[in-house]
Amino acid sequence: MRCSDKFKEENWNLEVQLQDVRTQLTAASGEKTRLDGEVRRLTKDLSKARDAGEAHKSEAEKLNSTLEDLRTKHEADVAVMRKTTAGLQREKGDLQSSLDALKSDIAKQSRVIKRFGSPLTPGIEGGAEPYTPHMVDEDDPFGGAASTRRRIDTPGAEMWGGGACCCVTFLVCLVADVG
């Protein structure tokens, strides 16, 4: 009987091992199913991440292209602005020199008139400034610059005198009377 007990015990051990193997198989199958689901989820996530990466890459290329276009436009605008500024600076210098020349001419003319008087201002005596009316004509588009012609045609022109006269208006009137 010993043999039979021995076989029973061995049979029992084999049944226990079979049960352990079946338990391990069930656990491994469950783990495999869980891991397969995890692989599918990670594959989806990877696909989404790749798509998002491609979209970001495409957007970055677009933005870089736009940035280059804007940079080029900015450089062109700056170049035009510098050119315009240089032109304006030259024009300012030209105008300043013209203004200085005019001021010099005005100063020379005012010294000559103060010394010698003006033969073109009839009826003004006592050092009053020539071509300066007492009353400013509001219809005059030149801001009160009187002409010799108006003085001759206007009754009471002899009463003009006094008041301040703008130097430029004075020169315009003087040139108009001489011409």
Q: Encode pLDDT of 71-84 as tens digits.
A: 999 999 999 999 99
Split into its structural domains, the chain has a count of 2
Tokens found for residue 48: 């989404």
Task: Answer whether residue 168 is part of any domain.
Answer: yes
Task: Please indicate, yes or no, whether residues 132 and 174 belong to a single structural domain of this protein.
Answer: yes
In the prediction, which pLDDT does 109 show? Answer: 86
**Residues 140, 109 share a domain:** no
Question: Taking a C-beta distance cutoff of 8 angstroms, is the pair 148, 120 a contact?
Answer: yes
109 and 153 in a single domain? The answer is no
Question: Domain for residue 99, yes or no?
Answer: yes
Question: Do residues 130 and 146 touch, judged by C-beta distance below 8 A?
Answer: no
Asked if residue 175 and residue 125 are part of one domain, the reply reads: yes
Is 13 within a domain? no
Residues 149 and 97 reside in one and the same domain = no
Let me know whether 135 and 96 are in one domain. no
Residues 174 and 131 in one domain: yes
Global pTM reads 0.41
What Å distances lie between residue 176 and 146, 173, 179, CA to CA? 10, 5, 5
* One domain for residues 106 and 144: no
Residue 44 domain-assigned (yes or no): no
What does the pLDDT read at residue 157? 43
Q: Do 100 and 145 sit in the same domain of this protein?
A: no
Our separate counts of H helices and E strands in the chain read 3, 0
Examine the pLDDT at 167 and tell me if it is beyond 70. no
Question: Are 126 and 112 members of one domain?
Answer: no
> Tell me, what DSSP letter sits at residue 133?
-
Residue 158 in this model has a pLDDT that exceeds 50? no
What is the percent of the chain with per-residue pLDDT over 70, rounded to a whole number? 62
Say if 105 falls within a structural domain.
yes
For 176, the domain range is: 117-179
Within-domain flag for 139: yes
